[in-house]
Structure 1
């Protein structure tokens, strides 16, 4: 069962001689764990196979965590069988919830996840309420992401018993509660920072012993920094989110969910560019819209102008690599930008050559074309602009080339594109200098005495 693609269907013999048939794989951690839908005695179950040398440790921890949740009346799929396998490893079977959806799936299906959206708040509140119930029972969970909450038959369940910890004593240590709460808050876009009150109230309803404001703020700062580091690290290595291959002559990173759709394009990117609709042809980059099936994507090739330019780029991360990471940084923060789908780099061992970045196609219209210089932005555009720049400013992010043509209105959000020079600054001083350059560059798009320019000057962060 090595690798991420073991046989789609296989059988495992249990200690009592019965056969467990795996019929659909849901998750594979190579050499460690296989999770899938299975059938035992005609009943569909969720099977977790623990196959590495330390399988007994992880299996027993998972089983103990489910038992602790069940004892505390925390909704979780019931354990049906837990035992060692005759040929090595361990198995844990739980009830299979055929029509369950993870909170992540629910979240991603929402048409609007901005803080003001009622559906978004209503989807999140039960998770915070469930966390309050967990803490009131003296339990914590060390992996609180949206994928570990399941919505089933109008209630929310908590899964992943391996992450559950029991704390002795009359009450849960406030530091442990603050850590869990911070981890769950960190899953939200940064635009939610000022809209957490209803979610915290849902938590408080089940656990009135809230961490102090200072303790919670410290835990959240730590959680946000860890989540950013962890996510950006994943963009460059093979994992459940990204399919990454690195060979002597080529590096390739693809959103795993998009790998099959993009495979024909990745086989010959330059030919696809030539066959697509050219958007820009320059010395340093070529941009084209390319159809993948019925859906267009945007392909940006980072060219090397001459030998001197090529030599200057050999040892540095490519501009494509930089844009790939910065695009995912923005997406993690909830800042609108077309989703980066894939990155390809020419390599000669550690040396880098050309690069190709593939992103979602944004059908929006640029703000230079869309906005009327003689009037303030319409209410929807005004709100989107204020949210965008307030978030960028708060996170100390500068764009580096803030032309109005790099801001696209898609009917709901202002999408930020062309991230080659984007940077998140470590110091306030560096950010202030970069922000002033961004601010001035944006305002130069329109005459200084026009209504739109005056509106922007009044509503952009002053710095």
Structure 2
């Protein structure tokens, strides 16, 4: 992740001498060390860090800094392995430069008095990440011309990397920088060297890592990107080798990402106590603070969408933004006891929404989860998501006609992806599919699951398929179109 965590001070606005910090103080500073601060190098020079870009608590701090009056990107390694980590970063940057791979130039590398190490590179003012440019295009159809024009240079650069006998252990869109029309690869710590050109297996692993950043709906549109990779000078990969690497990478990425949704990390802020568990998308934590403090008050003052025995749903407005808060109720003592030892339905919906998002299956963005707890026992729970201001498919689709082209394409992509990934919904009423004007969004994920076995999935899918078709008369044109379109037709 290369986005700034905090809108801190630019170098030209640092107000006077910054407080001095050392490795021990920075290790104990947590996720948000106060800036600006300065550190003294072993050679007596001083670096002033003015803006945080990334913090791995107790390990590494990356930020916009000043060294000898020059603006630099500084990485402070402050844990017990700082010497090894800093040296690996330095060697990786040198290997990239020697291989002709554009990367910000090394400025200085030095030890810090009392422990810790520093490495600085040139600061590319105004640089953006490939991820910044990809986000506005992520929901476009697979193979979209603008998306291909953006992504092809990254695949070509990867081909150049492999031709030089180099591999990269952390290939994601955030590790590509765009500056003055040129693409740079960063994070020397992840670079490893081998014989040139790179062997087939590690090359396939790297390529799979980059492909895995795309929605799986892109699987049929990868040819231009693979061509760009080969045009960069890489050897052509065996399709079977790449397919195995891609399955492995996607499985690992899914496990890693879902694990992060329940622990404190760069992406999520998690707080635990004897009586409460709270997980929130870190970038949303400050904005959601009033709602998280008392979700029931916001539900009562919001617009009611559903008031049932098992759940209460309301639309609320916070900071000019429309959100949905769903509370999972306990009907009676017996219900409370039966649920106490199991993950709450809010927890399940939270994880499944993130799973769907990772697969490129549209669903309102999950923002926060709250659970009442009594030690290991769980009680009520709340889920906060973005609000979709659009009709459900029962109201939107006309029974006497096939869907319009946009709706037809969106529904086909959604159901094909669910089928390919062995995901069943469990309650596939038409009211659980919304239309936002561009795409179909799946909601109410309490019973959604990804199946480990084909047989189990097919049983669940037949129920989902039949339930969705029952929304419209069997002799209607819409029913016939859906029956022909939905995968898994008997």
TM over 0.5: yes
Dislocated runs of 4+, deviation >4 Å: none
Q: How many angstroms apart in 1 are the aligned matches of 2:140 and 2:165?
A: 32
1:327 to 322, 329, 353: 353
1:5 to 32, 38, 57: 32
Q: How many angstroms apart in 1 are the aligned matches of 2:166 and 2:147?
A: 27
2:318 corresponds to: 292
Please give the residue correspondences for 1:91-110 in structure 2 after superposition, counting only pairs within 5 Å: 91-110=118-137
2:473 corresponds to: 447
2:344 to 318, 324, 327: 318
1:153 corresponds to: 180
Q: How many angstroms apart in 1 are the aligned matches of 2:260 and 2:150?
A: 27
Q: Does 2:245 match 1:230?
A: no
Q: How many residues align?
A: 462
Please give the residue correspondences for 1:413-452 in structure 2 after superposition, counting only pairs within 5 Å: 413-452=439-478
2:363 to 334, 337, 348: 337
Q: How many angstroms apart in 1 are the aligned matches of 2:44 and 2:64?
A: 20
Q: How many angstroms apart in 1 are the aligned matches of 2:268 and 2:149?
A: 30
2:199 corresponds to: 173
Provide the TM-score with structure 2 as the length reference: 0.93
Residues 286-336 of structure 1 show CA distances to partners (whole Å, capped at 9, x for unaligned) of 000111101011000000000000000111000000000000000000000
Gaps of 5+ in 2: 1-25
2:170 corresponds to: 143
Q: Pick which of 279-288 and 4-13 moved more.
A: 4-13
Q: How many angstroms apart in 2 are the aligned matches of 1:208 and 1:70?
A: 18
2:146 to 101, 116, 119: 119
Residues 192-250 of structure 1 show CA distances to partners (whole Å, capped at 9, x for unaligned) of 11111011000010134122111111111100100000000000001100001111110
Shift of 1:140: 0.2
Say if 1:198 and 1:209 are closer, same or farther in 2 by CA, change over 3 A: same
Please give the residue correspondences for 1:22-421 in structure 2 after superposition, counting only pairs within 5 Å: 22-110=49-137, 112-168=139-195, 170-421=196-447
Q: How many angstroms apart in 1 are the aligned matches of 2:59 and 2:136?
A: 31
Check conservation: 2:345, 2:446, Cα contact below 8 A.
yes
Q: How many angstroms apart in 2 are the aligned matches of 1:35 and 1:178?
A: 30
Shift of 1:40: 1.4
Check conservation: 1:112, 1:120, Cα contact below 8 A.
no
Gaps of 5+ in 1: none
Check conservation: 2:159, 2:233, Cα contact below 8 A.
yes
Shift of 1:13: 0.9
Q: How many angstroms apart in 1 are the aligned matches of 2:347 and 2:147?
A: 32
Q: How many angstroms apart in 1 are the aligned matches of 2:268 and 2:436?
A: 27
Shift of 1:462: 2.5
Partner-residue secondary structure (3-state), 1:12 = strand
Q: Pick which of 173-182 and 8-17 moved more.
A: 8-17
Q: How many angstroms apart in 1 are the aligned matches of 2:62 and 2:138?
A: 30
Q: How many angstroms apart in 2 are the aligned matches of 1:21 and 1:392?
A: 50
Q: How many angstroms apart in 1 are the aligned matches of 2:444 and 2:457?
A: 19
Partner-residue secondary structure (3-state), 1:352 = strand
Say if 1:111 and 1:93 are closer, same or farther in 2 by CA, change over 3 A: same
Provide the TM-score with structure 1 as the length reference: 0.98
Partner-residue secondary structure (3-state), 1:359 = strand
Q: How many angstroms apart in 1 are the aligned matches of 2:167 and 2:140?
A: 27
Q: Pick which of 99-108 and 319-328 moved more.
A: 99-108
CA RMSD of aligned residues (A): 1.0
Shift of 1:388: 0.5
Residues 241-297 of structure 1 show CA distances to partners (whole Å, capped at 9, x for unaligned) of 000111111000000010011001001110011111111100000000111101011
Q: How many angstroms apart in 2 are the aligned matches of 1:296 and 1:372?
A: 28
Q: How many angstroms apart in 2 are the aligned matches of 1:84 and 1:208?
A: 38
Q: How many angstroms apart in 1 are the aligned matches of 2:52 and 2:234?
A: 41
Check conservation: 2:419, 2:487, Cα contact below 8 A.
yes
